[in-house]
Every structure is written in C-alpha cells, then in structure tokens.
Amino acid sequence: MTTSIHITALDGIVNVNSLFTLAVFIGLTWSPTDPSNSLVVDQTCIPGSSIAENLVAFHVYSFSSFLFSSLIALGLKQAIRISRSPTYRPPVEFLAQINRSVVRIGMLVSGVGSFCGCGFLTLALVNVVQIKLGTLSCGSSATLGAVVPLVILVPVGLLLYVCMVLYAFSR
C-alpha cells in the first residue's frame, strides 16, 4: 500500500519545514523598529509601524503553517510505520488500517501547509526588505531589485513543489 517513496516525501516535507521554521525564529528575534537596522536615507520612504506589524504577523502565520504541515507529516509517517510493523500488535483492535486515500489526503494537506508557510514567509521577507531598504511605493531600485526576484523565484519554486506533491498524491 505504501512505499518508501511516501516515507521519503514525508521526510522531505519535515526537513524543509524545519529549515524554514528556523528561519522564522531568526526573523522573529530581529527588532524591526530599531532605527540602526535600516538603510533608508529618504525620510518619505521610511516604513510605518503597520509594515513592522505585518512582518511579525506573517512570521507567526508562516510558523503556524510549517508546524501544522510537519505535525501532519510526522503523524502520517508514524501511522505508516505502525501499520507496517510486524511486531506491533495492539491489545484491542481500535486502529484502522491505513488506506491509500488517507495517506494521499494527509500528504496533500501537509503540502498545502508547507505551501502556505512559504507564501507567508515570502510576504514577511518583502516586509523585511521594505524596512531595510525603503517602501515599495518609493520605487527605490534597491528595494525593487530585492523584491522582484523574490516574488518571481519563490512562486516558481512553489509551482514546482505543488506539481511534485500532486504527482505524489496521484501515485
């Protein structure tokens, strides 16, 4: 019913989520309101407090999404290992057999959590750029030079990720 491909895919989700969660924690330790952390010279391009609030909110949303995804993936891995273990016999048959649709839906839900976490982390990074280099509305070349690749490369990576998750979902 399940193969090592499913376990490997779930391991990959957990590992990537762990790296991104570390990035979120590092981002949360940084104080966005510290004036010495900004490279903005033009006073009209200094971001308001709403951008700093959004930064923290997007970090929290990202952390929640990655944690949700990792917990689902770890739960699926544990269920697969228990159902495949010849030595595990519960005293009462309260565990249902893990079927293919449960694994597929669990992998899909875990993938959606990772996808949302990446989206929120990207939004948090856009806010970091605005705090460090100036708001997007000012049209600074440094701000646009940092944000444009971010909003192009991350969605392309997410598109590839979604394709791989859907491929694993269909197998």
- How do residues 78-108 score in pLDDT, each as one tens digit? 877 776 655 555 554 445 566 777 878 888 8
pLDDT of residue 158: 87
- Between 21 and 74, where is the model more confident? 74
The structure tokens listed for 49 are 């407090």
The structure tokens listed for 20 are 């991104």
The structure tokens listed for 148 are 């444009």
Claim: this prediction has a pTM higher than 0.85 = no
Distances (CA, A) of 33 to 5, 43, 105: 45, 15, 42
Percent of the residues in the chain that have a pLDDT greater than 70, as a whole number: 78
pLDDT of residue 78: 82
- Give the C-alpha separation, 107 to 50, whole Å: 35
pLDDT beyond 50 at 130:
yes
- Sorting pLDDT into bands at 50, 70 and 90, what band is 22? confident
- Give the C-alpha separation, 18 to 28, whole Å: 15
Handedness of CA 123, 128, 129, 135 (dihedral sign): positive
The H or E element spanning position 158 is: helix 141-170
- Break the chain into its structural domains and give their ranges: 4-170
- Give the C-alpha separation, 80 to 110, whole Å: 15
Helices 4-29 and 141-170: angle between axes, nearest 10 degrees: 160
pLDDT of residue 94: 42
Q: What is the DSSP letter of 92?
A: S
The structure tokens listed for 112 are 């959606």
Which of 11-20, 83-92, 155-164 holds the top average pLDDT? 155-164
Please state which of the ranges 57-61, 71-75, 95-99, 125-129 shows the lowest mean pLDDT. 95-99
The helix/strand/coil state of 31 is coil
Question: Contact at 8 Å (CB) between 45 and 138?
Answer: yes
